[in-house]
């Protein structure tokens, strides 16, 4: 979730003073206070970009330079387009099909035309045997630079290599950025800019857990001096003013499997130390808020370059430590680990209707829809008694951030994510 110094300055210069004035007055002014307080992101899918502050500054004087928030320093300074934000796996209106959606390179301001990066390989990885190893992959790679970018889609097919090093599959289909086109395997594909569908009151969260504020490291204020989200009507959706880059693929279910699957997404880049054509993983993401809520910031990079088979010993320890820190019984940690480890979105392709964590808890399709309130689901388990019925140490005022889905974020038909601002 970052924008490079050069691309931000260039884009804002092209937009001009009139756009900057409009953004400041109509959209960005309400969150300027957020930056004056030194707030930085804790969650890939919910952050505020320094491009906002840059926009405010540029209203008075152009040009200027800035850098944005980061999941890791490497992604922030060298590979901004590799910053993954949200993975969705959900039912198509056609019961024979399933939809996969990957969001990345977020915090795109209204009117900003941010190019795609052809040096990054984007992959959906699908495990259909339950061992945490990809059996099918779908690869997406932008082909060129300039105003009329094209994109190639490979798969779904068995990977030539598994794990954190990948090579391109053979067969491909090609289309244009921001246009719907026919992909391989009977799929329909869209790669382009959409309205960011994620919703969350990040500003209030930082007051609750200041240690998740990057700028407060290494000496953050103690957690839980504030013990409630803002009430309905006062809570604010931090991501409402922003767009995001998206890959949306709708395809026959049989292309991925017939029963339960686990899905995760990765970004990879060419490694000059390896043979030509090899791409090395630099980020991985599936379950929202997992690493960002429970894991120490300085451990993110190591987690990003692991595979799901390594999640049990790695992420479980962070979950247990966090639950202990907030004064809740370890039964809460056990519940989170049971549904979220390994870090994959689980879905059952033999079922139709679904709910978030539904494959594990309700025997339905499961997956994750863009409208699912994943923050409330997670908070109600961690701070409440959902799933576990454990009330010891519960903090009811933290079980919902009181921000719901915005209808403008969604479409009833492909590509399902709302039109960009």
Which two tokens mark 83? 């910053």
User: Lowest-pLDDT range, 56-60, 115-119, 138-142, 173-177?
Assistant: 56-60
154-169 mean pLDDT: 95
Name 293's Cβ contacts closer than 8 Å, sequence gap at least 6: 42, 43, 212, 322, 378, 382
Please tell me whether the peptide bond between 148 and the residue prior to it is cis, using omega within 30 degrees of 0: no
When pLDDT is averaged across residues 16-22 and rounded to a whole number, the result is: 38
Q: Which residue has the higher pLDDT, 170 or 191?
A: 191
The upper half-sphere exposure of residue 151, i.e. CA atoms within 13 Å in the direction of its Cβ, equals 27
Q: How far apart are CA 68 and CA 2, in angstroms?
A: 5
Q: In the prediction, which pLDDT does 38 show?
A: 41
89 in Cβ contact with 263 (< 8 Å): yes
Distance (Å, whole) CA 211 – CA 295: 11
Q: In what order do the strands lie in the sheet with 181-182?
A: 84-91, 97-108, 243-252, 188-195, 181-182
User: pLDDT per residue over 175-222, tens digit each?
Assistant: 999 999 999 999 999 999 999 999 999 889 888 887 766 666 666 667
Contact 277, 78 (CB under 8 A): no
Q: What is the structure's pLDDT at 36?
A: 40
pLDDT given at position 160? 92
Per-residue model confidence as pLDDT tens digits over 356-412: 999 999 999 999 999 999 999 999 999 999 999 999 999 999 999 999 999 999 999
Q: How confident is the model at residue 55 (pLDDT cuts 50, 70, 90)?
A: very low
Q: How far apart are CA 171 and CA 138, in angstroms?
A: 11
More confident residue, 235 or 3: 235
Listed in order, strand segments (DSSP E) in 18-127 are 84-91, 97-108, 120-127
Question: pLDDT tens for residues 241-260?
Answer: 999 999 999 999 999 999 99
pLDDT over 80 at 16, yes or no = no
């Amino acid at each position: 979730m970052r924008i490079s110094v050069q691309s931000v300055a260039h884009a804002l210069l092209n937009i001009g003073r009139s756009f900057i004035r409009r953004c400041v007055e109509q959209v960005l002014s309400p969150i300027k206070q957020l930056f004056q307080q030194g707030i930085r992101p804790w969650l890939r899918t919910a952050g505020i970009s320094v491009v906002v502050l840059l926009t405010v500054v540029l209203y008075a004087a152009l040009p200027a330079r800035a850098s944005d928030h980061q999941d890791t320093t490497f992604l922030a300074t060298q590979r901004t387009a590799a910053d993954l934000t949200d993975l969705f796996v959900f039912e198509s209106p056609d019961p024979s099909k399933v939809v996969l959606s990957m969001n990345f390179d977020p915090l795109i301001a209204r009117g900003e035309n941010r190019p795609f990066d052809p040096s990054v390989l984007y992959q959906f990885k699908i495990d259909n045997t339950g061992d945490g190893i990809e059996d099918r992959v779908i690869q997406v790679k932008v082909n060129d630079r300039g105003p009329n970018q094209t994109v190639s889609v490979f798969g779904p097919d068995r990977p030539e290599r598994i794990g954190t090093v990948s090579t391109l599959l053979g067969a491909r289909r090609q289309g244009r950025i921001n246009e719907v086109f026919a992909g391989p395997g009977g799929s329909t594909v869209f790669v382009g800019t959409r309205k960011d569908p994620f919703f969350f009151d990040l500003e209030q969260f930082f007051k609750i857990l200041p240690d998740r504020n990057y700028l407060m490291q290494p000496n953050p204020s103690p957690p839980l001096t504030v013990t409630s989200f803002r009430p309905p009507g006062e809570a604010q959706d931090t991501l409402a003013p922003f767009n995001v880059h998206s890959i949306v693929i709708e395809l026959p279910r049989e292309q991925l499997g017939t029963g339960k699957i686990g899905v995760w997404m990765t970004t990879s880049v060419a490694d000059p130390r390896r043979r030509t054509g090899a791409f090395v993983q630099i980020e991985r993401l599936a379950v929202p808020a997992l690493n960002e809520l429970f894991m120490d910031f300085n451990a993110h990079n190591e987690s990003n370059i692991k595979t799901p088979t390594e999640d049990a010993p790695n992420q479980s320890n962070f979950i247990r430590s966090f639950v202990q820190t907030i004064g809740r019984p370890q039964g809460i940690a056990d519940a989170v680990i049971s549904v979220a480890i390994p870090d994959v979105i689980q879905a059952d392709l033999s079922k139709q209707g679904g709910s978030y964590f539904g494959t594990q808890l309700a025997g339905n399709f499961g997956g994750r829809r863009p409208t699912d309130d994943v923050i409330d689901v997670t908070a109600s388990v961690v701070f409440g008694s959902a799933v576990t019925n454990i009330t010891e140490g519960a903090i009811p005022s933290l079980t919902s951030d009181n921000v719901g889905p915005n209808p403008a974020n969604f479409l009833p038909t492909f590509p399902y994510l709302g039109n960009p601002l």
